[in-house]
Amino acid sequence: MKSLLVLSALIAVSGAVMAEPTCHAAKDKWMTQASFKQSMESQGYKIKTLKVTNGCYEIYGHDKAGKRVEMSFDPETGALAK
């Protein structure tokens, strides 16, 4: 019984840690995907995929050091989403 409680607690905590950010900007205030992508590429990112998830721009690709990245950004400001 004790093991089951510990396992349940670990699953609950891991779900909270794995939660994706959510952005709340009004869609009419978003920068265009093209301008966002251009901004990110000027910072050295190589974007393979750009999509919208939970109201955030989410990129999949590589940073300027060549490391794989999966990051979410506020579509209004371009700031990293938390």
What's the CATH number where 41 sits? 3.10.450
Between residues 7 and 19, the one the model is more confident about: 19
The verdict on residue 10 lying in a domain is no
What predicted TM-score, i.e. pTM, was given to this entire model?
A: 0.75
Residue 33 is part of which domain span? 21-82
Mean pLDDT across 8-29 = 70
pLDDT tens-digit series, residues 42-82: 999 999 999 999 999 999 999 999 999 999 999 999 999 98
Kindly state whether residue 6 falls inside one of the protein's structural domains: no
Residue 8 lies in a domain: no
Return the pLDDT at 10. Answer: 43
Q: How far apart (Å, rounded) are the C-alpha atoms in residues 43 and 41?
A: 5
In a domain, 27, yes or no: yes
Going by the DSSP 8-state scheme, the letter that residue 22 receives in this structure is -
Q: How many CB atoms lie within 10 A of CB 16?
A: 7
Q: Would 48 be classed as within a structural domain?
A: yes
Q: Which residues contact 52 (CB under 8 A, 6 or more apart)?
A: 58, 75
Number of domains in the chain: 1
Phi, psi for residue 58 in degrees, rounded to 5: -120, 130
Across the chain, what does the average pLDDT equal? 85
